[in-house]
Amino acid sequence: MKYHCTADTDLEELIGHECASASGLVFTYGPLPQAMLNDEELELENSAALPVMMAAKLHALCISLFIAEIAVRIPAGQHFRLLLH
């Protein structure tokens, strides 16, 4: 999976967020948990636009991601990789 980053890309965009729907609040997964759940590579294109601290946080989250809003832990699968390009 590829995702294009900009200077405005933040962790919420990459992890996901809650949205209102007809049935209430629904959590929409961002590209990071999607790639982890699908056990595939996530290539962040233009990752040089991200702040250095954000890149460091992303690497820490790649081992196991906990999404507090929905109380879900997503472990990294055997084939999951985060590629910064």
**5-63 pLDDT tens trace:** 999 999 999 999 998 888 888 999 999 999 999 999 999 999 999 988 888 888 888 88
Decide if pLDDT at 81 tops 90.
Answer: yes
Mean pLDDT of 60-78: 90
* Within a domain: 58: yes
What range does the domain containing 69 cover? Answer: 2-79
Residue 59: per-residue pLDDT: 83
The count of structural domains within the chain is 1
* Within a domain: 55: yes
* Within a domain: 84: no
Cβ-Cβ contacts under 8 Å for 22 (sequence gap 6 or more): none
Residue among 1, 19, 9, 36 nearest 70 (CA):
19
Residue 55: per-residue pLDDT: 83
Instruction: Please check whether residue 67 is in contact with residue 33, taking contact to mean a CB–CB distance below 8 angstroms.
Output: yes
* Within a domain: 56: yes
Mean pLDDT of 72-79: 93
Residue 36: per-residue pLDDT: 95
